[in-house]
Amino acid sequence: MATRSVSNFQHVRLASVSRDAQFCSAPRALNNGGACRRFFRVAGDLAKQTRERRARWLCQSAPDLSEHTLNVNLAVDKEHETLSFTEIATLPIDALQGIAERGADALKKIGVKTVADLANLKYYKWAKAISTLADKEEEGKRSADAAMHANSAVVKEFELKSFKEMADAPVWALQGISPRMAEDLSAVQIRSVRDFAESKYAAWSEAIVTLAALENK
């Protein structure tokens, strides 16, 4: 096979990187060493130019925040105070003030590793829904024809309970949280379903994630 000329590689574009990289793969590269080296040099230059253009665009499009006064200093550890909401949302959960190693380990057992994980956690959403609706419940006034239920959110022994009873139940009443997990969650002040609904850590996380979604609009 004839060796490609240098001029072929002078017109490399990002769209053709995959094709030309395949051309330069072994064993063909053994017969086209010089041409392939030139390809990778040109492709590298293009990639660098692309990164530089994106960096310039980001700098030009970034808003001036020098006069803003909002902060979340009392919700996150000091080292994270200058980060964006988007960045905070990706941090480990112990970036929130007050969550120590034991609390982080307890939350990890129910699927929480990051701030965003806690904000979107199904157990928190279920607990908040139950607690919110408990305040709108009339005791003993359920209609015989009512079709609503929360069976998929609570363990079987609580399926027939009122929202108020569910809210005051131990947190293991939520499906998927074992008694052992519930015991560990006391490290972050979560003992009942209502405690989970009113958890300051969950509320902070939810607020941060909500605003993170608006930062780049």
Task: Read off the pLDDT of residues 130-147 as tens digits, 9 standing for 90 and up.
Answer: 999 999 999 999 999 999
How far is 199 from 189, CA to CA, in rounded Å? 8
Band of residue 4 on the pLDDT scale cut at 50, 70, 90: very low
How far is 30 from 84, CA to CA, in rounded Å? 48
Q: What percent of the chain has pLDDT over 90?
A: 69
This prediction's pTM = 0.72
Q: What is the dihedral of CA 159, 187, 113, 182, to 10 degrees?
A: -20
Q: What local confidence, expressed as pLDDT, does residue 139 receive?
A: 93
Is 112's pLDDT higher than 60? Answer: yes
Q: What local confidence, expressed as pLDDT, does residue 10 receive?
A: 42
